Structure 1
């Protein structure tokens, strides 16, 4: 079933040649439930994400990687990316030494990622592997409580009940399409487009499929394929190539995640009595934000509102902010 879904997602589409890019892209991204345009939450559920990533210039892959890219993703402009990310999850009540069995388990995830990327003028396809560890070896407790101590904030008390160490991995695949919708004011005016996307991932970390769409308004929209968030979808969309002096856009969109398995909710597969909660099979997101590029740098901010991920979660939308900075050199 997963293979059929992935094959459908990545069926060949446009064959146009996109812009050549002779510079690497370096990205640093941070997400937190306290970094928000609304009155935010403090350390609950998906509370923190950090990501550092490198994306290569175009068409400089080693021969074997280039062959795999072409075989899996088809013809197009090739890139490869590699990175590391850490995600931190906590219950809503972090001041209880023994967390409720109805609340989200404490969990930390540390993942390394290797992605193959293939661009045409109107699509970006990604195939990648993520592998790492869930549990104390992720360093989540040390980072979170160490940061709280440094700023004089209250430390979270239940980390000794976090999910145990377990090697995790997933294979991910996805495609984003760019659909121009027109413009106002001619070549130097305001442009509109849409970025429908589909992705799937499978492994003992997560098994899920995602469909989404994003509407953008701005200038130089053909400079990239949108900006990623860390926790959902496919993370191989950092590459960009400015097509005007200062490309910029504002965006808004929705996505739906069909979740068959999530280790951070359902607990360690190797332990019978691991902390766990019952996941919800469908999770929706609304996102909105702004991105701007100048002198080889891209800065973006996204605000994300998410429906409940498990059955005993607090009612209402959970929200977090995502700040992304990339530079080319």
Structure 2
């Protein structure tokens, strides 16, 4: 993969996000109707890994693993103080609250080097608890939330990765003793996704989902613009599939609008990254492993979602441009599998 192609993809990701956001802004209607109520809570399990790929498996490198469990409430059944806060931020809409716990693991490309290559991505584990307020209309989904946790050995990256390698009889990664040191993480984030119906004919629908996201804190500070195109049935069931942030994230919230719904999708986003602790090292120390981040990161993703009687199963394949100077291998690829069920 040539650098010129990767550069074009970055520019395409940023440009498509800007165009999508502009189109959505022109179509936003503050008086948009609120959707039907959904009384059921939703449990979600998600896994992301660089070895899960529609192209080929890869050895551990870069963003090598993500695990997440989450719970999302039904609509409009939060305590009054939470409901009032959500309405104060986003205005009228159908409201939910969501909680989750996620772990992300990052390694260099050369995992058998001891010590690791100082010009490669440092070893890092991140463990975060999340809380989000979600507000929906028929045409928008708005999310604001906080993440709190730890980066470093307390996040358990070494134990999870090498423990799994031991379980399957694989070679352990040798450089975890050089991982980034412990530091507390506090992160604020907000996003809005717009739904723009395009076609509805012969039982098949097409829509566009432009989105804008911003996050700040001592984990990753960035702004993101992007959009997704979907084709299928029952597209009003959700606002796209979830991702372990960053990325195009439709969240875990959905509702069963028909016994069986499905859609195929493709999306593109561009991220302007001001700070990334897993690349640049601790906020509070100097002299530890770090690399020079690239400020503009582009992603392309595609996949399939199936919804059947309150259960949603989705697969997403993501291709990502380089995140730091000296990153090898061209576009980096990883897969995401997510299963949600309502109770």
TM-score, structure 2 as length reference: 0.90
Aligned counterpart for 2:224 among listed residues 188, 203, 210: 210
After superposing the two structures, state which structure 1 stretch, 38-47 or 27-36, moved more: 38-47
Q: CA deviation at 1:197?
A: 0.4
1:246 aligns with 2:260: yes
Aligned counterpart for 1:299 among listed residues 313, 323, 342: 313
Aligned residue for 1:39, secondary structure, equals coil
Q: Within 5 Å, which residues of 2 pair with 1:182-197?
A: 182-185=199-202, 189-197=203-211
Q: CA deviation at 1:232?
A: 1.1
Aligned residue for 1:87, secondary structure, equals strand
Counterpart in the other structure of 1:277: 291
Counterpart in the other structure of 1:147: 164
Q: CA deviation at 1:14?
A: 4.8
| Distance 1:13-1:104 versus aligned 2 partners, 3 A rule | farther
Counterpart in the other structure of 1:267: 281
Alignment root-mean-square deviation, CA: 1.6
1:47 aligns with 2:47: no
Distance in 2 of aligned mates of 1:286 and 1:184: 27
The number of residues matched between the two structures is 319
Aligned counterpart for 1:60 among listed residues 62, 77, 80: 77
Counterpart in the other structure of 1:109: 126
After superposing the two structures, state which structure 1 stretch, 312-321 or 157-166, moved more: 312-321
| Distance 1:235-1:179 versus aligned 2 partners, 3 A rule | closer
1:156 aligns with 2:173: yes
Q: Is the 8 A contact 1:33 1:47 kept in 2?
A: yes
Q: Is the 8 A contact 2:239 2:250 kept in 1?
A: no
1:194-220 CA-to-partner distances (Å, cap 9, x unmatched) read 111001000111110011100000000
Q: CA deviation at 1:40?
A: 2.6
1:199-244 CA-to-partner distances (Å, cap 9, x unmatched) read 1000111110011100000000000000121131475711111211
Q: Is the 8 A contact 1:43 1:92 kept in 2?
A: yes
Counterpart in the other structure of 1:82: 99
| Distance 1:235-1:53 versus aligned 2 partners, 3 A rule | farther
- Displaced runs of 4 or more, over 4 A: 8-12
After superposing the two structures, state which structure 1 stretch, 159-168 or 234-243, moved more: 234-243
Q: Is the 8 A contact 1:27 1:326 kept in 2?
A: yes
Q: Within 5 Å, which residues of 2 pair with 1:29-44?
A: 29-44=46-61
TM-score, structure 1 as length reference: 0.94
Distance in 2 of aligned mates of 1:286 and 1:131: 28
Q: CA deviation at 1:315?
A: 4.1
Q: Is the 8 A contact 1:117 1:236 kept in 2?
A: no
Q: Is the 8 A contact 1:14 1:121 kept in 2?
A: no
* Structure 1 portions without partners, runs of 5+: 1-7
1:273-295 CA-to-partner distances (Å, cap 9, x unmatched) read 11100000100000000000112
Aligned residue for 1:155, secondary structure, equals coil
Q: CA deviation at 1:311?
A: 0.7
1:20 aligns with 2:34: no
Counterpart in the other structure of 2:334: 320
1:223 aligns with 2:240: no
1:131-159 CA-to-partner distances (Å, cap 9, x unmatched) read 00000000010000000000000000000
Q: Is the 8 A contact 2:243 2:250 kept in 1?
A: no
Q: Is the 8 A contact 1:73 1:127 kept in 2?
A: no
Aligned residue for 2:263, secondary structure, equals strand
1:175 aligns with 2:189: no
Q: Within 5 Å, which residues of 2 pair with 1:87-102?
A: 87-102=104-119
| Distance 1:143-1:134 versus aligned 2 partners, 3 A rule | same
Q: CA deviation at 1:184?
A: 2.4
Counterpart in the other structure of 2:86: 69
| Distance 1:13-1:266 versus aligned 2 partners, 3 A rule | farther
Aligned residue for 1:111, secondary structure, equals strand
